[in-house]
């Protein structure tokens, strides 16, 4: 499905129940309300995982290396549909398989300009066989890396990656 214009996000109460909607741009402030999102870690047939560098034009965490892609399901949009939509939009790929790996992941983080992310953000593992063709409005650079190397890099230099990626890798290593 195509995203709504302007994009909207689903607001949540502290127990992750939907309580309303808000504009995606308006909701991300220095006092961001809790809302629904997702993170996806994309693997290729070699078992490498895709890391991406956020575009320098993005409002939050510009230029930061992070997991393959993230997004916000629109109101009434199924999570799977939102993930497939963002995979195509950000990376030009289709998803061959998709599984949830951290269903209860939730985080709050503050970027260098003071903008807050505050999300219930289930984490998914996807596999693609496509060539990545990044959307320059979203992704400045990308790399396919060994999962162990990414884990070690993020553990050694957490400041060089998005905070949510570091927390996700820690939780994934514990299961």
The catalytic residue positions are: 70, 119
Contact 67, 162 (CB under 8 A): yes
Minimum Å gap between C-beta 7 and Mn ion is 11
Provide the annotated binding site for Mn(2+): 28, 35, 72, 117, 119
Distance of CA 82 to the CA centre of its chain: 11
Minimum Å gap between C-beta 152 and Mn ion is 28
Q: Residue 70 or 93: which CB sits closer to Mn ion?
A: 70
Over the window 34 to 73, marking each residue x when it contacts Mn ion by CB under 5 A and - when it does not, the resulting string is: ---x------------------------------------
Nearest to 135 by CA among 69, 81, 74: 69
CA distances from 151 to 7, 68, 109, 155, 173 (A): 32, 14, 20, 6, 8
Q: Residue 66 or 128: which CB sits closer to Mn ion?
A: 66
Query: Strands across the sheet with 116-120, in order?
Result: 18-23, 8-12, 35-36, 116-120, 106-110
Minimum Å gap between C-beta 147 and Mn ion is 25
Which of these ranges, 33-41, 47-55, 87-95, 124-132, lies near Mn ion under the rule CB under 5 A?
33-41
Provide the annotated binding site: 28, 35, 72, 90, 117, 119
- Give CA–CA dist 171/175, Å, rounded: 7
Would you tell me which residues interact with Mn ion (CB under 5 A)?
A: 37
């Amino acid at each position: 499905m195509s995203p709504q214009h302007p994009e909207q996000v689903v607001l949540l109460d502290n127990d992750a129940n939907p309580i309303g909607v808000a504009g995606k741009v308006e909701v991300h402030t220095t006092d961001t309300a809790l809302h629904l999102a997702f993170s996806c870690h994309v693997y290729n047939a070699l078992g490498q995982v895709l890391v991406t560098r956020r575009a320098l034009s993005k409002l939050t965490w510009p230029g930061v290396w992070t997991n393959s892609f993230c997004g916000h399901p629109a109101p009434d949009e199924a999570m799977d549909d939102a993930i497939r939509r963002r995979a195509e939009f950000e990376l030009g790929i289709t998803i061959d398989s998709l599984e949830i790996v951290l269903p209860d992941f939730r985080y709050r983080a503050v970027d260098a300009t003071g903008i807050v992310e505050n999300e219930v953000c289930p984490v998914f593992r996807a596999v693609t066989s496509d060539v990545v063709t990044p959307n320059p409005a979203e992704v400045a650079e990308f790399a396919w890396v060994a999962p162990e190397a990414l884990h070690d890099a993020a553990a050694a230099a957490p400041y060089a990656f998005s905070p949510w990626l570091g927390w996700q890798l820690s939780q994934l290593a514990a299961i």
